Structure 1
Amino acid sequence: MKRLLFILVGLMATTLVSQNTVTLQECYELTSVNYPLAKQITLLKAQNHLEQEVVSTARLPQLSFDAQATYQSDVIEVPIPNASLDPINKDQYRATVSVNQLIYNGGATNAILEVKSSQLETKQKQVEVQLYQLKQKINQLYFSILLAQETELLLDAKQTLLNSKLNEVTSGISNGVLLPASDKVLRVELLKISQQQKGLQSNKATLVNSLSRIIGQPLDAASTFLNTLIDTEFTSQLNRPELDLFQLKKAEIESNEDLIAIQNSPKLLGFATGGYGNPGLNMLDNSFQAFYIVGVKLNWNVFDWNSNKKEREAIAIHKDILDTETEIFNLDTATKLNQQYNEIAKFEEFITSDLEIINLRKEVLKSADAQLKNGVITSSAYFTELTHLYEDEHNLIKHKIHLQLAKANYNVIKGH
């Protein structure tokens, strides 16, 4: 069922990507399905199934075949005078088939199967943790692409405005209102913008290619990466897969404890052996005979020099180590959450001041525009004010993208 859900999610996300729109959530979902590491979840399950089948064979009858031919330098002699007994042959032959059936082993087989199940859950969760940790890398790539995309739009707007101003300046030169060289500054800046656009396109293509490799889907550099607002709940409650992994590791340790506790339990087996040989069970009969033996066998390791007790003590220490690892993880995660919270607050303040600065810059540019039309200032002076506005608008874009990145990272750290 889980695999089917992954497939459906992959198909839905692939459809959306093919429509030239990409979202951050789609990238997360595609990575969980297409990243090579995700294949290990299915492989681990198949491997564990085979291992459990091997363990389960302990419940089935164990069949063995044995054959031997020997020559002895000496044999048993019957010390009875005038006895009419033939001496035992020095060459002897025997072939046997034995069947052993486990009757009771203290539940060791079930305990081993439980350990195998716990190991599977732990290994699969480890894969999920590694896939989850890719989210921050996806965040970095995705929002870097967004920044390149938004910067490109801002450059396009600046280019359009400069082209418009170039037409006005050219007209002013023709009418003798502006100096003949007034258009040169604008033409130079238009060439620079063209260079910047090409650099942005190249950088974006590299980022898109890197993201495409992670999510396992082809992406077009011309695709639109949606800048959807990210909701963040500032709570201390964590929902990280690492916490589930710690619990599964503890469950695995406990299942090993149960196995160790019954390792020294008595084992009862039933057995039957049938054979054909010379001699048979009657050593005094020098002829080939068929024979059989049936019975039960009890094995109990009464004293093991406290090795079982020491194994349990070692496992108890392992549980303590796991508890400290969990505590360290919680402390580190709380620190990272606090850092991201401060980043969010910082960029929110930056954005507020950016908006004030941009409003003031627009007023200054509006005045410079009127002065340029009247020939009061040069196009170089006008462009200086336009550049200031562009830089501040670019800062606003960067701060908004960084704010979204900080929120996305906060959610990933928290396990949202």
Structure 2
Amino acid sequence: MKRFIIILIILITLPSVAQQRITLEECYDLVIENYPLAKQLLLFETQNKLDAAVISTSKLPQLSLDAQATYQSEVIEIPIPNANIESLNKDQYRATVSVNQLIYNGGLVDASLKLKSAQLKTKQKQIEVGLYQLKQQINQLYFSILLTQESELLLNAKQVQLQAKLKEVKSGIKYGAILPSSDKILEAELLKISQQFQELESNKTALIETLASLINRPLDASTVFQNPLIETEFQKELNRPELALFQLKKEEIENSESLIHKQNSSKLVGFAIGGYGNPGLNMLDNSFQPFYTIGIKLNWNVFDWNSNKKQRESLTINKDIVDTETEIFKLNTNIELNQQQKEIDKTKAFITSDLEIINLRKEVLKSADSQLKNGVITASAYITELTNLYEDENTLVKHKIQLQLAKANYNVIKGQ
């Protein structure tokens, strides 16, 4: 018998133990981890490695193979009588292998690598900004689900109260204390409550499915969404990823300036050419000969019509544009914070008055309950007062959820 009781207790408690729970912070983490945009982080990193490898190859020896066969209408002739110098063939052949090794280019390769690294950081931060902006969408869905949960609890309490009142009314009708058909009014109201349950359940399911798609985790109506305790610090200091993005954009521009500046630097290259052809380097030897040439060459673009300078001036303007964008972002964000703070203050005032209204409604309903038992009022009048209390309690719940949502949005806007 004891064994049976233990098994029964396990079977009863198992569903509640296995019931899935989720928090708002977990939703934040999951959307950052699983949203498709996050996959671009790895793609950008892989792409950057490939680009960096391509740039680095310019430091390695460059090998090229050339071959040509030509026929000339005229060739060089030596106008010396009886010199016995054979004229060159009009058909000529040459095959060469060239090796070029970069010795110095003013740090152009390193500057290019730094620019690619800065571009990668900017792209990664842009992804972070995009994922961060999903937090407000998560807030809206999460707290809407919480509101449906709380509304269901209130509606269930109203249903239980009406069911108990229906039993009392039927008993009063039986003994002639209450007017006939009063029970029908209560039964009709209970049917309305069933419809309201269906509507709440449908809305909740839609919200949960949307949230599950965003965070890529299976959720259902049995999932418990924990009501977070959110604290806010009303201060203007921002910690948004967009501010870091603006700074990275400026660093990227500075790296571009450095690269452009080095493009006019002198370039020193060592080279070696080996080949086989007819003629070779000795133009007087009309036969196939091997040959080679080794050397060093310097290239320096001394004058470019101020093209380099103008490019750098254009980039300086881009930095000023980024500074302007930063100021605009801070201004708009502080305006949003101010609006959210006013929303928080307003909702707190509503909650205070909601509590006072509910206390008054409870007194009115208590009086209506006594009057219904004594047949002084009809069931319709009682339902009106009960509905008034339910709607005011629902308003209180709505304002509490709105307060939590406003606090959560404030923290997201501030970057907390």
Same fold (TM over 0.5): yes
Give the whole-Å Cα distance in 2 for the aligned partners of 1:80 and 1:175.
149
DSSP 3-state at the match of 2:110: helix
Q: CA deviation at 1:133?
A: 0.4
Any residues of structure 2 matched to 1:210-289 within 5 Å, and which? 210-289=210-289
CA distance in 1, matches of 2:218, 2:396: 31
Letter in 1 for 2:308: N
Alpha-carbon contact 2:19-2:224 (below 8 Å) kept: no
1:158-194 Cα deviation digits (max 9, x unpaired) = 1111101011111111122111101111111100010
Counterparts of 1:227 and 1:52, CA distance in 2: 48
Task: Look up the match of 1:387.
Answer: 387
Distance across 2 between alignment mates of 1:330 and 1:57: 43
Q: Which amino acid aligns with 1:112?
A: S
Q: Measured at CA, do residues 367 and 218 of structure 1 come closer, stay the same or move farther in structure 2, by a change above 3 Å?
A: same
- Give the Cα–Cα distance (whole angstroms) in 2 for the partners of residues 112 and 284 of structure 1: 48
Provide the rounded CA distance (Å) in 1 between the counterparts of 2:222 and 2:197.
13
Corresponding position: 1:32 with 2:32:
yes
Q: Which residue identity lines up with residue 376 of structure 1 in the other structure?
A: V
Gapped runs of 5+ residues in structure 1? 1-17
Pairing 1:249-398 to 2, within 5 Å after superposition: 249-398=249-398
Aligned residue in 2 for 1:77:
77
Aligned residue for 2:221, secondary structure, equals coil
User: What are the Cα deviations for residues 295-315 of structure 1, in whole angstroms up to 9, with x where unaligned?
Assistant: 000000000000011011101
For residue 34 of structure 1, report the CA deviation from its aligned partner.
Answer: 0.3
Q: CA deviation at 1:376?
A: 1.6
Q: Secondary structure at the match of 1:205?
A: helix
TM-score (norm 1): 0.95
- Equivalent residue, structure 1, for 2:132: 132
Cα deviations across residues 188-225 of structure 1 (Å, max 9, x unaligned)?
A: 11000100100110111011111111111111122111
Map Cα deviations across residues 5-47 of structure 1 (whole Å, 9 max, x no partner): xxxxxxxxxxxxx841121111100000000000111110010
- The one-letter amino acid paired with 1:315 is L
Residues 378-411 of structure 1, C-alpha deviation per residue, up to 9 Å, x if partnerless? Answer: 1111111101100100100110111111111100
CA distance in 1 between counterparts of 2:175 and 2:90 reads 132
2:229 and 2:166 map into 1 onto residues whose CA distance is 37
**Equivalent residues of 2:336, 2:413 under 8 A apart:** yes
Q: Residue 47 of structure 2: SS of its match in structure 1?
A: helix
Structure 1 ranges of 4+ moved more than 4 A: none
Distance, in Å, in 2 between the alignment partners of 1:140 and 1:79 is 96
Deviates most, 376-385 or 334-343: 376-385
Shift of 1:374: 1.6
State the Cα distance separating 1:227 from its structure 2 match.
Answer: 1.1
Which residue in the other structure is 1:13 paired with? none
Quote the Cα distance in structure 2 between the aligned partners of 1:187 and 1:301.
94
Q: Distance in 2 between matches of 1:367 and 1:353?
A: 22
The whole-number CA distance in structure 1 between the counterparts of 2:109 and 2:357 is 74
Match of 2:182 in 1: 182
Task: Give 1:206's aligned residue.
Answer: 206
Equivalent-residue separation in structure 1 for 2:148 and 2:156 (angstroms): 12
Give the Cα–Cα distance (whole angstroms) in 2 for the partners of residues 177 and 37 of structure 1: 68
Partner residue in 2 for 1:4: none
2:59 is matched with which residue? Answer: 59
- Hey, what's the Cα distance between the residues in 2 that align with 1:172 and 1:59? 100
SS in 1 for 2:92: strand
Give the distance between the partners of 1:306 and 1:253, measured in 2 at CA. 19
Give the equivalent residue in structure 1 for 2:92.
Answer: 92
Using the alignment, how far apart are the partners of 2:357 and 2:111 within structure 1?
A: 69
The separation in 1 between residues aligned to 2:362 and 2:167, in whole angstroms, is 21
Amino acid at match of 2:191: L
Q: For the residues of structure 2 that align with 1:113 and 1:257, how far apart are their CA atoms? A: 13
Aligned partners of 2:44, 2:172: CA distance in 1, in Å? 75
Q: Which residue matches 2:12?
A: none
Q: Please give the alpha-carbon distance, in whole angstroms, between the structure 1 residues aligned to 2:357 and 2:144.
A: 24
Q: Which runs of 5+ in 2 are unaligned?
A: 1-17
Cα RMSD after superposing both structures = 1.0
Matched residue SS, 1:180: coil
Measure how far apart 1:323 and its partner are: 0.4
Provide the residue aligned with 2:11 in structure 1: none
Question: Do the aligned partners of 2:24 and 2:142 also contact (CA within 8 Å) in 1?
Answer: yes
Change (3 A) 1:19 1:266: farther
Give the C-alpha shift of residue 104 in structure 1: 0.2
**Residue matched to 1:23:** 23
Look up the equivalent residue of 2:176 and give its one-letter code: G
Query: Is 1:402 matched up with 2:397?
Result: no
Aligned residue for 2:276, secondary structure, equals strand
C-alpha distance after superposition, 1:29-67 (max 9, x if no partner): 000000000011111001001100000001000000001
Residue in 1 that maps onto 2:47: 47
Q: Is the 8 A contact 2:19 2:222 kept in 1?
A: no
Contact 2:100–2:271 under 8 Å retained in 1: yes
Counterpart secondary structure, 2:75? coil
Q: Secondary structure at the match of 2:384?
A: helix
Secondary structure of 2:65 counterpart = strand
Q: Residues 90-127 of structure 1: CA distance to partner in whole angstroms, max 9, x if unpaired?
A: 01111100000000000000000000000000000000
Tell me the number of residue pairs that the alignment of Structure 1 and Structure 2 aligns. 400
Q: Tell me the residue number matched to 1:6.
A: none
Q: Which residue does 1:412 correspond to in 2?
A: 412
